[in-house]
Amino acid sequence: MNEIFELCVRLDSTARETYETLAECCTDVELAVTFHRMALEEAAHVEWWSELLAAWEAGLVPRVGDTQELLERLHATADNVESALAGGMEGLSVDDMLDLAAKLEFYMLDPVFGELLDLMDPGENEHHRDAYSRHILRLVDAIERHYSRRDLARFLAAVLARAYRDQQRFAEMATRDSLTGVYNRRGLYGYLAQWLAWSRRYEHPFAVMLVDVDHFKNVNDTLGHPAGDEALTSIASALSRAVRGSDLVGRYGGDEFAILAPETSADELADLAERVLELVRSASFGTADRPMKLTVSVGAASASGAATVTAERLLSAADRSLYQAKNAGRDQAGPVIDAGAAE
């Protein structure tokens, strides 16, 4: 991971230096201002990666997935960027400058960057997406306004805009459940590992809830799988409304969901469980003449910063709590289990 973050810092530093040079060389004052703004935005991107590198070195960022595959993609991007910049920037026309900027951003649109930010920086992914969207749209606007060949300008702008949309979609597909829109198992584990490391380092409370749909098989068997999909989407929406802004909802598998809740005491966790139960009870799906209702069972476990609490141990404790809720009749929450004290 260290090499991955260092390479991200290097790539965005190169982009920043490129835009600074373009701003200095550009004779079109308005376009020079645009390049200068893009250099400042690249400096912010460098700061993102530098902060993540520091967090990794402090033990607060988890290793994710196949790092060799991520490195290969990043090195390929670095090779493409180096090739694009090989000719230098002195004496370039406005069109040539915009060509160079478009190539640079096109190569930097590999979904690997979005995947890393989505997994590594809880709570900030929307901010990063919005900031990068403004960055790309700034260049798209510059191409449309300043490129001398209008037909080619429209084409370049369209290619760059579509590449950005594809990058966002592919990055989201890597960490989001395609049916419900909440995080998938991969996304959940990335955040879980990071927040557990944070909990251990600063001895802050962290909790996990497992939410299982009661008698879900009956829905598929009696109403069909499309109705089952609608029910899962409805429940995911109810869970998203129940949680706080700092919490995270994901589909753990099948008809089971998980909620990651940082900075949550046992009392707050019990309150969250009650909100989950109530909002799911009040949710409905199906047709107007045949509305359907479902309930869920909830299991919860907490980690209070104990060094012995692993992701597996925390999830196992939440699963035991969930089993107790089901055994007691369903449509209720099991006891909050302290994973640090659990056998």
pLDDT digits (tens, 9 = 90+) for 40-83: 999 999 998 898 888 778 766 666 556 787 888 899 999 999 99
Q: Domain check: are 238 and 89 in the same one?
A: no
- Mean pLDDT of the residues in the chain: 86
pTM of the model: 0.65
Same domain flag for 249 and 269 = yes
Phi, psi dihedral angles at 291 (to 5 degrees): -70, 150
343 in any annotated domain: no
Do 142 and 201 lie in one domain? The reply is no
User: Residue 154's domain is classified under what CATH number?
Assistant: 1.20.1260.10
Residue ending a domain, among 145, 175, 205, is: 175
pLDDT band, very low/low/confident/very high, at 118 (cuts 50, 70, 90): low
pLDDT > 80? residue 112: no
Nearest to 319 by CA among 203, 239, 210: 210
Residue 138 has phi, psi (to 5 degrees) of: -65, -45
* Integer Cα distance of 180 and 231 in angstroms: 10
pLDDT of residue 63: 61
In a domain, 180, yes or no: no
Residues 244 and 292: beta-carbon distance below 8 Å:
no
Residue 239 lies in a domain: yes
Query: E strand or H helix at 29, and its extent?
Result: helix 29-57
Whether residue 153 is predicted with pLDDT greater than 80 in this model: the reply is no
Which comes out higher in pLDDT, residue 158 or 104?
Answer: 104
Grade residue 343 by pLDDT with cuts at 50, 70 and 90: very low
Residue range 121-128: mean pLDDT, rounded: 63
Please name the amino acid found at residue 236: A
**b or e along 320-331 (b: 16 or more beta carbons within 10 Å of the residue's beta carbon)?**
bbbeebbeeeeb
233 part of a folded domain: yes
169 and 190 inside one domain: no
Tell me what pLDDT residue 33 has: 96
Last residue of a domain, one of 150, 175, 200: 175
Same domain for 211 and 121, yes or no, is no
Whether 159 and 227 map to the same domain: the answer is no
Give pLDDT, residue 168.
67
249 and 159, same structural domain? no
Report how many domains make up the chain: 2
pLDDT exceeds cutoff 70 at 126: no
Which residues span the domain enclosing 230?
Answer: 185-338
CA distance 119 to 238: 23
Judge whether residue 210 has pLDDT over 80.
yes
Q: Do 153 and 31 fall into the same domain?
A: yes
Q: Are residues 72 and 166 in the same domain?
A: yes
Domain shared by 308 and 192, yes or no: yes
**SS3 label, residue 58:** coil
* Tens of pLDDT, residues 5-46: 899 999 999 999 999 999 999 999 999 999 999 999 999 999
Q: Which of 152, 175, 198 is the last residue of a domain?
A: 175
pLDDT in tens, 211-252: 999 999 888 888 888 889 999 999 999 999 999 888 899 999
| Predicted pLDDT at 271 | 92
Per-residue pLDDT, 51: 86
The neighbour count for residue 218, using CB atoms within 10 Å, is: 11
318 lies in some domain: yes
Mean pLDDT, to the nearest integer, of 313-319?
93
Collapse the DSSP code of 197 into the 3-class scheme (helix H, G, I; strand E, B; otherwise coil) and give the result: helix
Residues in a beta bridge with 266: none
CATH of residue 206:
3.30.70.270
Q: Give the pLDDT confidence score for residue 121 in this predicted structure.
A: 59
208 shares its domain with 302: yes
Residue 69 lies in a domain: yes
Q: Are 198 and 127 within one domain?
A: no
Residue 285 makes CB contacts below 8 A (sequence gap 6+) with: 227, 230, 231, 233, 234, 291, 292, 294
Q: What confidence tier does 199 reach under pLDDT thresholds 50, 70, 90?
A: confident
